[in-house]
Amino acid sequence: MATAHLACLDGVVGPAADAKIPVTDWGLVRGDGIFEVLRLYDRRPFALEDHLERLQRSADNLRLPLDLDAIRTDVATLLEAAAADEPRGALRIIVTRGGRRILTTETLPQAAPSIALGTVTYAPTRLLDGIKSLSYAPNMLATRIAQLAGHDEALLVTPHGRVLEAPTSSIFWVSGGRLRTPPLEDHILASITRARVLELGDADERPGTLDELLAADEAFLASTTREIQPIAAVDGDALPLGGPVTADLAARLHERILSELA
């Protein structure tokens, strides 16, 4: 889990541990609010505009008032105050129904070289389509269930066996020489990393079953915090590691990130 350092609460910077909001805020009481997590590379945020656009879409869909200019100012204020020597950082932005703007900086643990997934049955809530909402308990529960069963992370699969995504990352796999990923129409998050990978690699966005994934030549997760992480196993069945497509995309995604930061 990431460790929070500084917070910017409604424009005021201080230690994250000291930042306080009223317990009556519906962001807490009902999970009624939105969030974003950006990666910081030496204090520079990657894909800030994409994250702010998604935050605005989330706010519009949740009918939540959002002052994007204030958020921009908060981001600049917090990054100015953030530690300059933080190579693996993250910036979290939260907006609550109570009208709070909460931004925190966090240190990310080093991602493992590969990850073992355990399937958890999950039917996405249609009402929350296009909303990165604070109601993330199902995602956190899925991870917990998978970890209690001895895996590293969950893989969300519909009751009809369609592979969706992981609780905080998108999934890709290679089969028959083609890169594959589930379509956004399957009610998965419009991941910013997924969009970059789709720009870099020629992929088919179409539904896939667990059996197809298990027979894949390569598979990986993609997200802001991990970039690309190879999948070593699903439900204890090993998947081939060290494939050329994953390695090539991981290298080119990282290059792309660095070039966008420059």
Ligand X SMILES: Cc1ncc(COP(=O)(O)O)c(C=O)c1O
Would you count residue 224 as binding ligand X (CB under 6 A)? yes
Quick one: three-class SS letters along the chain? Answer: CCEEEEEEECCEEEEHHHCCCCCCCHHHHCCCEEEEEEEEECCEECCHHHHHHHHHHHHHHHCCCCCHHHHHHHHHHHHHHCCCCCCCEEEEEEEECCCCEEEEEEECCCCCCCEEEEEEECCCCHHHCCCCECCCHHHHHHHHHHHHCCCCEEEEECCCCEEEEECCEEEEEEECCEEEECCHHHCCCCCHHHHHHHHHCCEEECCCEHHHHHCCCEEEEEECCCEEEEEEEECCEECCCCCHHHHHHHHHHHHHHHHHHC
Smallest distance from ligand X to CB 235, Å: 20
Would you count residue 192 as binding ligand X (CB under 6 A)? yes
CB nearer ligand X, residue 13 or residue 156? 156
Smallest distance from ligand X to CB 168, Å: 4
CB nearer ligand X, residue 191 or residue 229? 191
Would you count residue 249 as binding ligand X (CB under 6 A)? no
CB nearer ligand X, residue 34 or residue 116? 34
Would you count residue 133 as binding ligand X (CB under 6 A)? no
The mark string for 137-166 relative to ligand X (x by CB under 6 A, - otherwise) is: --x-------------------------x-
* Given 105, 191, 229, 246, the residue binding ligand X (CB under 6 A): 191
Would you count residue 169 as binding ligand X (CB under 6 A)? yes
Would you count residue 223 as binding ligand X (CB under 6 A)? yes
Residues binding ligand X (CB under 6 A): 37, 139, 165, 167-170, 189, 191-194, 223-224
